Structure 1
Amino acid sequence: MGAEASPKQARVLCMNKVDLVEKKKDLLKVAEQFKDLPGYERIEGSGVEDLSRYLMEQEIPYGIEHRLLDWKELRDGSMRIEQHFITGKISQRKILVGKNGSKIGRIGIEANEELRSIFKRDVHLILQGLRYNWGP
């Protein structure tokens, strides 16, 4: 694991088959050994669903491209911007979109606020995550 964490990576302790451990206090002792490691985040949860939710909330995968499809000023002075995120794998698309669109929705809200601040006008930002087959 190394003594130094990469600033781009979080360390996660995932324990499997904990139901087979007789003394549950032993699990806490193991987890306690990890708490001071650089980059280690303590995330409470149990089961595959909690772990999947945590992992899906991480940063956008590096292999995602974005394309500006449309940019126009509307009659009321606001701007309409449509942008597509292009992924090569369905797993990347799932990370980008998030459960029920939560991730791409959050990205849209934050980007919209930043664009509104830059352009000093209302912005209608439309984001869509698409999957294209880039290779074999």
Structure 2
Amino acid sequence: MIGHHGYPYRTDVKVRVESAWSSIELYDLLIMMFDVHRHLTMPDTRVIKLIKHLGEKVHSKQKRVLCMNKVDMVEDKKDLLKVAKEFADLPGYDKYFMISGLKGSGVKDLIQYLTDQAVKRPWDEDPTTMSEEIMKTISLEVVREKMLDHIHQEIPYVIEHRLMDWKELRDGSLRVEQHFITPKPSHRQILIGKNGSKIGRIGIEANEELRSIFKRNVHLILQVRVARKRNA
């Protein structure tokens, strides 16, 4: 599987994509959101194909919504009507929304629609607690988010990210160890930063957020290493 950056997706990314597709039918409502400004300036055939694929037929057990984001960046608003018309004949979408996540335009209408669709029913799990598996997933997502905040190149897409160890200590705190595995030594150096400044900042910010989410002390350990070369 090749990303837009030209590099192959690493195992963790591929697994997440496959997991998302395998669970797409499980939800009562699906939002297909795309960048309408990019669609008008640099249309991507893959995105167009996906929009049409998800909207080609009505799903009796699931409502689908087409959401055009970043309308604030479109200077000629008539262009928005052209895009709406382009996808108007897709029966699979129950509603169409034009929003600006940055400016807030149209967001209230989307929220109201989602609220109206909500169904009261018993929780599948206790809403006041988190399972260990959910906590592990959250820890990976938080750390990866902080990494993306600090590295604005395409290098993150070729970095493998693993949870190596998870322990609850006697005092109730958590010891969490995660590794970043880079394909090249140069990528490792970029992620580490001068004198460890970059990976250190990522760790500090992620640790603070995890403590806030889990309501307990977290000892986050991050390591960066280069992938071993496979024998030919």
What is the TM-score when the length of structure 1 is the normalising length? 0.55
2:164 maps to 1:69: yes
Higher share of residues assigned helix: 2
Q: Does 1:133 align with 2:224?
A: no
Distance 1:121 1:88 in 2: 34
Measured after TM superposition, the shift of residue 118 of structure 1 is 1.1
In the TM superposition, what whole-angstrom CA distance separates every residue of 1:41-60 from its partner, at most 9, and x where no partner exists? xxxxxxxxxxxxxxxx7436
In structure 2, relative to structure 1, the CA distance for the partners of 1:125 and 1:70 (3 Å cut) is same
Q: 1:116 aligns with which of 205, 211, 217?
A: 211
- Between the two proteins, the alignment pairs up a number of residues equal to 82
Equivalent pairs: percent with the same residue? 70
Q: Does the alignment pair 1:59 with 2:152? A: yes
How far apart in 1 are the matches of 2:206 and 2:212? Answer: 10
- Runs of 4 or more above 2 Å deviation: 57-60, 133-136
Counterpart CA distance in 2 for 1:81 and 1:126 is 6
Structure 2 residue 184 is the aligned partner of structure 1 residue 89: yes
Unaligned runs of 5+ in 1: 5-56
Q: Which has the higher contact order (CA 8 A, sep 6+)?
A: 1
Preserved CA contact (<8 Å) 1:89 1:133? no
Contact 2:151 2:191 in 1 (8 A): no
Runs (5+) with no aligned partner, structure 2:
1-37, 39-149
Q: Supply the distance in 2 between the matched residues of 1:73 and 1:58 (Cα, whole angstroms).
A: 30
Match of 2:74 in 1: none
Using the size of structure 2 for normalisation, the TM-score is 0.33
* 1:72-130 Cα distance to aligned partner (Å, 9 max, x none): 11011100000000000111101110011000000100110111111000000000001
- Counterparts of 1:36-51 in structure 2 under 5 Å? none
**Counterpart-to-counterpart distance in 2, 1:99 and 1:64:** 19
Give the alignment's Cα RMSD to 1 decimal. 2.2
